[in-house]
Amino acid sequence: MASPAFFNFSVSRHLNCFRAITKFAFLIVLATLLYSCNPDKRGPSGRPNSGQVDTSISYYHQIAAIIATRCLSCHSEKGPGPINLASYANVSFNAEMIRYVINRRIMPPWLADEHGWDFANKRVLSKQEIGTINKWIDNGLYKGDSIAGVSQAKRLITEGPKPDIVLHMDKHFFIKGDNKESFQKATFKFESDSLFPVCAVEIVSKQLKVAHHASYAIKGISKFSRSAEEFLLGNDLFHDSSVVMIGGWAPGAGATRFPEGFGFFLPKKGEVDLEFHYGPSPVDLTDSIEVDIYTARKPITRSCTFISISNGDSICRLSPPLFEIQPNSFQKFTLQYTVKKDFTVLAVGPHMHYLGKSYHASVIAPDGQESSIINLAHWNFSWQDQYLCQTFHHIEKGSVLKVEAEFDNTKDNLRNPSNPPKLVRSGWESKSEMLVFILLVTQYKLGDETIRWNSEF
Ligand code: HEC
């Protein structure tokens, strides 16, 4: 079962309640499993020979494949998930807990609901998959016969290409064994004689059990850094004109390669500023992070950049205009930005801190038609994803990007970093708040609406 290290996160809260209710049920499951381990008493299903066993759904034929594609990126031996789901024994032992988290859609973790664009990296089980797992559990966890090629729920990883540039840390991160979350920062400097065309960036941590998420900004320190195509979208949108790309990473996400021709240029000289969030650990640990950069094999003709609209930008309209969240209150804000040039959106990233409650981003086309981009009914600081568009989206000049978000600064918000709640203002630290919408974009070209991310790395 989970190590105490993970108890701070949201799932744990649900689960603690669940555990209390089902402690007894677990004992029964355990007793049944122990009983079923006695070969003399076992039927073909791995279950006792009492009554008819429904063999229409078996671990080997259906369940292992669902678990492999939907869970093992995190729930493997070294992954960030607290339980390893790579074997029949582990899956069946945790069956009731799995049933609990999948039916409430706590797992796989994915905050965006169906009110918005379709995303390529969506981590959700289909209704049918949930039905299959429920039925399999109801029917008594039938194991079935192992079939060729499916000995266990193995994660389908193929060795990918090696990174072209690997940036290392000078010093290790130290994670204190005090069962508290921590945020750590590092800077990776780089220098070369030419501009590198980049098609993917990956962050590699050796402590996946406690690594929670990271965000990074790639900066150039020469004037050259913004690449030739400063076509963009009103330079006033950038806080720091030397930042060429920002991105996020979470364990289990892996690197995603831009579609052919898309990417960005790594400046000749610059740095990657990384902020890393570790979950609580009961023991002292060290971690040394690597930033892996993959160069594009084909020329980049569609240079990408990002737009970040936030509560701090003077060019955005914020209402109410003062970004303050009073203690013991809920506060709603609306952020609006009028688009100055046509562009194509490849991915979006909503961002708030611990007081965030809900988040909705939409676009109002010049004809007044409003459509939803992304809706997170229950914001959770722990799962900050970059949402990759299933197919790219065109945003027309004159459209308005609108973000509506609610913050909960009451003591009932269990993630509130201040107890009793305090007045919270804008700031980068996690005790302050932010309302940000990041869009990964490029200049629009006719036909972009049909382009997709590469499914293979
Ligand atoms: C992106 C990573 C990720 C994926 C994918 C994922 N999980 Fe999890 N899971 C976690 C993490 C991390 C936790 C610990 C709680 C937390 O941090 O929210 C967790 C907790 C759990 C727990 C509670 C375990 C405990 O003892 O606390 C169960 C059960 C679970 N996951 C089942 C699943 C199943 C089943 C799937 C696939 C259908 C799945 N998870 C997919 C990351 C993931």
Domain ranges in the chain are: 4-138, 159-222+243-296, 304-457
Among protein residues, the one whose CA lies closest to atom 35 of ligand 1: 98
* Residues 99, 106: Cα–Cα separation, whole Å: 10
- Cα dihedral 60, 66, 72, 74 sign: negative
Question: How high is the pLDDT of residue 267?
Answer: 86
Distance 165 CA to ligand 1 centre (A): 32
Alpha carbon of 307 to those of 148, 237, 441: distances in Å? 49, 6, 7
Binned at pLDDT 50, 70 and 90, residue 365 comes out as very high
**277 φ, ψ to 5°?**
-110, 120
Q: Read off the amino acid at residue 240.
A: D
Residue 120: name the closest of 254, 300, 261, 266 by CA: 254
8 Å CB contact between 212 and 382: yes
Distance 15 CA to ligand 1 centre (A): 11
- Does ligand 1 lie within 6 Å of residue 331's CB atom? no
Binned at pLDDT 50, 70 and 90, residue 241 comes out as low
Binned at pLDDT 50, 70 and 90, residue 31 comes out as very low
Kindly give the number of the ligand 1 atom that is closest to the alpha carbon of 73: 5
Question: How high is the pLDDT of residue 308?
Answer: 85
Distance 81 CA to ligand 1 centre (A): 5
Distance 384 CA to ligand 1 centre (A): 15
Question: How high is the pLDDT of residue 153?
Answer: 57
Mutating to test ligand 1, I would choose from 9, 29, 101, 387 the residue with most ligand atoms within 8 A of its C-beta, which is 101
Question: How high is the pLDDT of residue 321?
Answer: 95
* Residues 203, 248: Cα–Cα separation, whole Å: 9
Binned at pLDDT 50, 70 and 90, residue 320 comes out as very high
pLDDT (tens digit per residue) in 82-93? 899 999 999 999
Among protein residues, the one whose CA lies closest to atom 26 of ligand 1: 2
pLDDT (tens digit per residue) in 116-171? 999 998 999 999 999 999 999 999 999 988 765 455 555 444 456 889 999 999 88
The number of beta carbons lying within 10 Å of the beta carbon of residue 166 is 13
User: If one looks up domain 159-222+243-296 in CATH, what number appears?
Assistant: 2.60.120.230
- Does ligand 1 lie within 6 Å of residue 93's CB atom? no
Question: How high is the pLDDT of residue 430?
Answer: 79
Instruction: Summarize the confidence of residues 206-228 as an average pLDDT.
Output: 73
324 vs 429, which has greater pLDDT?
324
Confirm whether 159-222+243-296 and 304-457 share one CATH topology: yes
* Residues 19, 24: Cα–Cα separation, whole Å: 9
Q: With a cut of 90, say whether residue 101 has pLDDT above it.
A: yes
Question: How high is the pLDDT of residue 384?
Answer: 84
Instruction: Summarize the confidence of residues 46-57 as an average pLDDT.
Output: 64
What's the mean pLDDT when you consider all of the chain? 82
Distance 101 CA to ligand 1 centre (A): 8
Q: With a cut of 90, say whether residue 35 has pLDDT above it.
A: no
Distance 309 CA to ligand 1 centre (A): 32
- Does ligand 1 lie within 6 Å of residue 80's CB atom? yes
- Report if pTM > 0.85: no
- Does ligand 1 lie within 6 Å of residue 165's CB atom? no
Q: Which residues contact 131 (CB under 8 A, 6 or more apart)?
A: none
Pick the CATH number of 304-457 from 3.10.105.10, 2.40.50.100, 1.10.150.170, 2.60.120.230: 2.60.120.230
Instruction: Summarize the confidence of residues 367-382 as an average pLDDT.
Output: 95
Question: How high is the pLDDT of residue 22?
Answer: 41
pLDDT (tens digit per residue) in 286-306? 999 999 999 998 999 998 988
**227 φ, ψ to 5°?**
65, 165
Which one of 2-11, 44-53, 339-348 scores highest in mean pLDDT?
339-348
Binned at pLDDT 50, 70 and 90, residue 457 comes out as low
Instruction: Summarize the confidence of residues 304-327 as an average pLDDT.
Output: 91
Supply the DSSP string of 188-234, one letter for each residue.
EEEE-SSPEEEEEEEEE-S-TTTEEEEEEEEEE-SGGGG-S----S-
8 Å CB contact between 303 and 263: yes
End-to-end Cα spacing for the chain:
32
Question: How high is the pLDDT of residue 42?
Answer: 37
- Does ligand 1 lie within 6 Å of residue 350's CB atom? no
- Does ligand 1 lie within 6 Å of residue 101's CB atom? yes
Distance 1 CA to ligand 1 centre (A): 11
Q: With a cut of 90, say whether residue 188 has pLDDT above it.
A: yes
Kindly give the number of the ligand 1 atom that is closest to the alpha carbon of 100: 29
